[in-house]
Chains A and B, each alone.
Chain A
Amino acid sequence: MGRKLIDLVHISKSFGNNLVLDDMNLYIRENEFLTLLGPSGCGKTTTLRIIGGFETPDKGKVIFDSEEITNLAPNKRQLNTVFQKYALFTHMTIEENIAFGLKIKNKSKAYIHDKIKYALKLVNLEGFEKRMPDSLSGGQQQRIAIARAIVNEPKVLLLDEPLGALDLKLRQDMQYELIRLKNELGITFVYVTHDQEEALTMSDTIVVMNQGYIQQIGSPEDIYNEPENAFVADFIGDSNIFPAIMVRDKLVKILDTPFPCVDKGFGENKPVDAVIRPEDVTLTEPEAGILDGVVTHLIFKGVHYEMEVLANGFEWLVHSTKMYPVGTKVGLFVDPFNIQIMNKPESEDEEATVIDE
């Protein structure tokens, strides 16, 4: 990946008394697919709108291609946005919609004509030139919105939950479409979503946000396998989060049971949080694992069975392709490599959101 293209330096923004972003620092590299991921109200859309020029930060600077653009109007920025719910111009044909930006820039008719053809081909909607936006399905409208943005050859494409209004199947198709587009165009994508699966599927880099603070920046693998705090662990995928004691390097006490692990450098007898993904818990014969438990819930999920196992007073969430009926006594085993140790949350935004026990 290339050099820094966008640099957000000490950005703060509040609406009234509501602090949305607090001293945020983030850079985006050229050619990167970066996703801002978090629950609603975490500041991800505000971040995107600050980059797009629709909001001005209270404090801090926005650097684009080594030039400060903090107070530059949106129409002067070399980037384009794909809005939530498409925001097509309903009084214009598809052709006129796509041509809008090019006409403003006084491009020649032939150039505009070629660009429209190219863009419609790119989003697989050839022959839609004369249609009106209202006559298109949601997925088609979204692709037109993308076409309308990319004909302007922006250096960066900003996407604000573009798939939020589509149904599941279409959303998955569009995810692949977006990855393909990004590879063909070779430009930077900044993507906002609250859907962790979408983020994991498409991104080079994920920025997990909560309550106006960045929780973790990393590749999808990093974020999933090595969450840095309880919030990230909880927000990305299913997880078992335990209060634990780091006895010494490579040994953690979870629910009063010592588990070997691979983490080091936390000190001795230090309270920490431990994360174990449900698919990393292996069910065995009783006494054959590290501790024993009883299956209390069983749900068939298609790819796997989801079970809850009561062991040492904690309901463990377990995913397994093998089925154990409710009431079965089982042993639980966890590979040391699959235990992720995290520091205790230092502030409210780092805590796991309470959804279930």
Chain B
Amino acid sequence: MNKKLLAFPYIVWAAVFILIPLFMVAYYGLTDKNGSFTLANLASITTKEHLKALWLSVLLSLMSTLICLLLAYPLAMILAHMKVTKTSFIVLIFILPMWMNFLLRTLAWQTLLEKTGVLNNILHFFHLPALEIINTPYAIILGMVYNFLPFMVLPIYNSLIKIDPNVIHAARDLGANSVQTFLKITMPLSAPGMISGITMVFVPALTTFVISNLLGGSKILLIGNVIEQEFTQAGNWHLGSGLSLVLMLFIIFNMVITALFDLEGEGNAL
């Protein structure tokens, strides 16, 4: 009874800041300006402009997720094999940037990548060709990878250190070489970490509008930017909410697919 009482503030919090806003998004998304029920807001995702933005968002966030996975896995393996004292230091270095404001970090990349920015000045000094990636999708991917990489490293690291070293030894003992051991034992056993890493990178990457605003200029519209503009510029809350709902359904659908895929690969539930 007492314990339930302790949860009360959280329930209030969840109701005020999670449930009610969600309900309002659903309400706005499913009504028109006169307040009558409509599916038109949801259906507007099929317009050419919106589909293009969604497609670009999916493409860029998939690529960032893949790059994060490829960068994070080796790093997590190195961390997992290190002594604890060293590990905590490196994890600290890794997490340190996260203590700085997200916007600030992304703005810093803008300054670094600008046509006359820090990076290009350095390249120019060495008479190297200038880097022209600001305001291109590449800059957005860079921003996504930079910002979301820790969310990939930590879950993979956590799942790797849970593997009993003797399980790895057992595979070697039974004749597997190091590559076979990695593919058949280490990777499947770290799948839960990879799955949560992928979710934790893919979902924010898919919905971001800050990174694309700052590093992509105003020309590249991701689905996040489209929704943001509906709210801030067009003032059409109904359409913005409708698109948000579609995006939410899309993410839930993807997570279910991922979980099912994991079920097959792993043989047990997530």
Is A101 an interface residue when CB atoms closer than 8 A count as contact?
yes
Interface string of B41-85 (1 = CB under 8 A from A): 000000000000000000000000000000000000000000000
Contact across chains for A89 and B267 when beta carbons are under 8 A apart: no
- Which A75-129 residues sit within 8 Å CB-CB of chain B? 75, 80-81, 83-85, 87-93, 100-101, 104-105
Is B6 an interface residue when CB atoms closer than 8 A count as contact?
no
Is B101 an interface residue when CB atoms closer than 8 A count as contact?
no
- Which A40-55 residues sit within 8 Å CB-CB of chain B? 52-54
- Max chain B CB contacts within 10 Å: which of A75, A93, A152? A75
Residues of B within 8 A of A152 (CB): 174-175
Is B260 an interface residue when CB atoms closer than 8 A count as contact?
no
Report the bound CA distance from A145 to B170 in whole Å: 9
Contact across chains for A92 and B172 when beta carbons are under 8 A apart: no
Is B232 an interface residue when CB atoms closer than 8 A count as contact?
no
Is B177 an interface residue when CB atoms closer than 8 A count as contact?
yes
Report the bound CA distance from A149 to B172 in whole Å: 12
Contact across chains for B189 and A90 when beta carbons are under 8 A apart: yes
Number of A-B contacts (CB under 8 A): 70
- Which A302-321 residues sit within 8 Å CB-CB of chain B? none
Residues of B within 8 A of A93 (CB): 267
- Max chain B CB contacts within 10 Å: which of A87, A88, A92, A145? A87
Q: Which one of A81, A84, A132 contacts B268 once the chains associate, using CB atoms below 8 Å?
A: A132
Which size class do B's interface residues fall under? 20 to 34
Report the bound CA distance from A104 to B172 in whole Å: 10
- Which B166-182 residues sit within 8 Å CB-CB of chain A? 166-167, 169-177, 180
Report the bound CA distance from A340 to B267 in whole Å: 60
Contact across chains for B175 and A104 when beta carbons are under 8 A apart: yes
Residue of B nearest to A160 (CB): B166
Is A73 an interface residue when CB atoms closer than 8 A count as contact?
yes
Interface string of B231-243 (1 = CB under 8 A from A): 0000000000000
- Which A197-235 residues sit within 8 Å CB-CB of chain B? none
Q: Which one of A85, A92, A104 contacts B180 once the chains associate, using CB atoms below 8 Å?
A: A104
Whether A83 contacts B170 in the complex (CB less than 8 A), given A90-B189, A91-B189, A101-B175, comes out as yes
Report the bound CA distance from A251 to B182 in whole Å: 66
Is A148 an interface residue when CB atoms closer than 8 A count as contact?
yes
Residues of B within 8 A of A148 (CB): 170, 174
Is B188 an interface residue when CB atoms closer than 8 A count as contact?
yes
- Smallest beta-carbon distance A84→chain B, Å: 7
Is B132 an interface residue when CB atoms closer than 8 A count as contact?
no
- Which B156-198 residues sit within 8 Å CB-CB of chain A? 164, 166-167, 169-177, 180, 184-185, 188-189, 191
Report the bound CA distance from A80 to B171 in whole Å: 10
Contact across chains for A75 and B188 when beta carbons are under 8 A apart: no
Q: Which one of B164, B176, B177, B268 contacts A87 once the chains associate, using CB atoms below 8 Å?
A: B164
- Smallest beta-carbon distance B161→chain A, Å: 15
Whether A87 contacts B169 in the complex (CB less than 8 A), given A75-B175, A101-B174, comes out as yes
Report the bound CA distance from A117 to B170 in whole Å: 21
Is A60 an interface residue when CB atoms closer than 8 A count as contact?
no
Whether A73 contacts B169 in the complex (CB less than 8 A), given A90-B189, A91-B188, A92-B267, comes out as no
Report the bound CA distance from A80 to B166 in whole Å: 13
Report the bound CA distance from A319 to B267 in whole Å: 56
Contact across chains for B189 and A81 when beta carbons are under 8 A apart: no
Contact across chains for A54 and B169 when beta carbons are under 8 A apart: yes
Report the bound CA distance from A88 to B163 in whole Å: 11
Whether A83 contacts B169 in the complex (CB less than 8 A), given A91-B189, A91-B268, A92-B267, comes out as yes
Residues of B within 8 A of A88 (CB): 167, 170
Contact across chains for A81 and B169 when beta carbons are under 8 A apart: yes
Q: Which one of B173, B177, B191 contacts A80 once the chains associate, using CB atoms below 8 Å?
A: B173
Contact across chains for A81 and B167 when beta carbons are under 8 A apart: no
Contact across chains for A105 and B164 when beta carbons are under 8 A apart: no
Is A74 an interface residue when CB atoms closer than 8 A count as contact?
yes
Residues of B within 8 A of A104 (CB): 174-176, 180
Q: Supply 16 further A-B pairs (C-beta < 8 A) apart from A54-B169, A85-B166.
A: A52-B173, A53-B173, A74-B173, A75-B172, A75-B176, A75-B177, A83-B170, A87-B164, A87-B166, A87-B170, A89-B185, A91-B266, A91-B267, A101-B174, A104-B174, A105-B175
Q: Please, could you name 13 A-B residue pairs with CB atoms under 8 Å apart, sorted by A?
A: A75-B173, A75-B176, A75-B177, A89-B185, A92-B267, A100-B184, A101-B174, A101-B175, A104-B174, A105-B175, A145-B170, A148-B174, A149-B174
Q: Name A's B-contacting residues (CB within 8 A).
A: 52-54, 73-75, 80-81, 83-85, 87-93, 100-101, 104-105, 132, 145, 148-149, 152
- Among all A-B residue pairs, the 6 with the closest Cβ atoms: A101-B174, A87-B166, A74-B172, A83-B166, A87-B170, A104-B175
Q: Name B's A-contacting residues (CB within 8 A).
A: 164, 166-167, 169-177, 180, 184-185, 188-189, 191, 266-268
